Amino acid sequence: MLYHLFDWLGASVPGAGLFGFISFRAAMAVFVSLLISLWWGKGIINLLRRMQVGETVRDLGLEGQVQKQGTPTMGGLIILSATIIPTLLFARLDNIYILLLLVATVWLGAIGFIDDYIKVFKKDKRGLAGKFKVVGQVGVGIIIGATVYFHPEIRTRVEVPEVLASQLDESALHTVTEEDGTVHYLLNRKSPNTTIPFIKDNEFNYSSILGLFGRNARQYTWIIYILVVIFIITAVSNGANITDGLDGLATGTSAIMVMTLGILAYVSGNVIFSDYLNIMYIPGSGELAVFIGALLGACIGFLWYNAYPAQVFMGDTGSLALGGIIATLAILVRKELLIPVLCGIFLVENLSVVAQVSYFKYTKRKYGEGRRILRMSPLHHHYQKLGIHESKIVSRFWIVGIMLAVVSIVTLKLR
């Protein structure tokens, strides 16, 4: 909003040119989101307390567990508001990437809010039926996948030699001149490409999957692509939801992932950096840094109240949205195949539940009684059962998250 305002006012307002820089607007988004989450967050927490919006915490038989009973939930409203407001203020609202993220944030936040509302106000511990959650996640996956695949403004660019550039239509080319006079000729492409971590010349085109069935089969690539997007958004969204079981766990690990994706988005949207790193250049994706800055500030500000002992829980309102946003960001910067590394915490938490349930059912059929791999799932509760203090578990998960983030960034050069 402010970008468009100062762009319209032009040079008549001193300092208006600052809003043309993504780095400045991203920094302002971080600052404003921190202010909103810290100042407004306290008011929301007090309101939730007055409304008696408390969460019933599962009794793990651990000392100190009882004190959490009645802690306000639905704190995800703090994260959502502290993300959306700065984005509307500082981002370019005509950027398709920003619009997609706002849709994903509101959509998944609404699903989580309905789930929390049913649990708290309708006194139904089951919340929103799982099939309705999945339908909602599939719906936003279809929107994201179809838009990325078909929208004309979502393109990648690849550098071509000057000799080849002279033979191509000028409308398909984009030229960039460096300070030393070097000219880069970039060809606009509309293709369902992504990148494979740790591989040189690491672009992968989804159409190659169907290419095995003949050239005509490639026209159905959009179906494969949308199905992949649906799976990723659903898996990461549920992974964040499962991880949200200890004070500060989902918030802290999400903040680490978001910061990493911010770096990847910034270099992918900058032609000089992308050329130096030899990675896919995605025009317009640099604007994602503004949204990411707002989300990062919101997570850090929320952590002020969510750190042990938590004054508020994010609930499904926050966790479903956080996971979906992280998945959408990875898809938009064409790094979705990096998710098993970057979102390794979410992946392991998901797998711990799947393994526990599957093994219990298998042993019950075979031996007549169910057996467990872990003392309790998800994985963080297993460590609690081993007698490790909650805050130590969270700190160690953060350390692992930081290590995974470093590995993810290193993939820019290590191939």
Between 329 and 284, whose confidence is greater? Answer: 329
- Angstrom distance (rounded) from CA 223 to CA 318: 30
Q: What percent of the chain has pLDDT over 70?
A: 84
pLDDT at 302 over 90: yes
What mean pLDDT is predicted for residues 251-279? 88
In a domain, 176, yes or no: no
Lowest mean pLDDT among 182-186, 241-245, 382-386: 182-186
Assign 406 a pLDDT band (cuts: 50, 70, 90): very high
What mean pLDDT is predicted for residues 378-383? 92
What mean pLDDT is predicted for residues 26-31? 94
Q: Are 328 and 187 in contact (CB under 8 A)?
A: no
Assign 64 a pLDDT band (cuts: 50, 70, 90): very low
pLDDT of residue 151: 86
User: Which ranges constitute the DSSP H helices of 151-269?
Assistant: 162-165, 207-211, 221-243, 249-268
In a domain, 286, yes or no: yes
In a domain, 164, yes or no: no
Assign 204 a pLDDT band (cuts: 50, 70, 90): confident
- Angstrom distance (rounded) from CA 202 to CA 206: 13
Domain that holds residue 114: 2-155+190-410
In a domain, 382, yes or no: yes
Give strand pairing partners of 54: 72
pLDDT digits (tens, 9 = 90+) for 162-179: 555 565 555 556 665 655
- Angstrom distance (rounded) from CA 232 to CA 342: 13
User: Which ranges constitute the DSSP H helices of 269-287?
Assistant: 271-277
- Classify residue 40 by burial, with Cβ atoms within 10 Å: 0-12, 13-18, 19+: middle
In a domain, 368, yes or no: yes
- Could you give the number of structural domains in the chain? 1
Of 107, 59, 67, 35, the C-alpha closest to 325 is 107
In a domain, 169, yes or no: no
Assign 412 a pLDDT band (cuts: 50, 70, 90): confident
- Angstrom distance (rounded) from CA 115 to CA 130: 10
In a domain, 183, yes or no: no
In a domain, 194, yes or no: yes
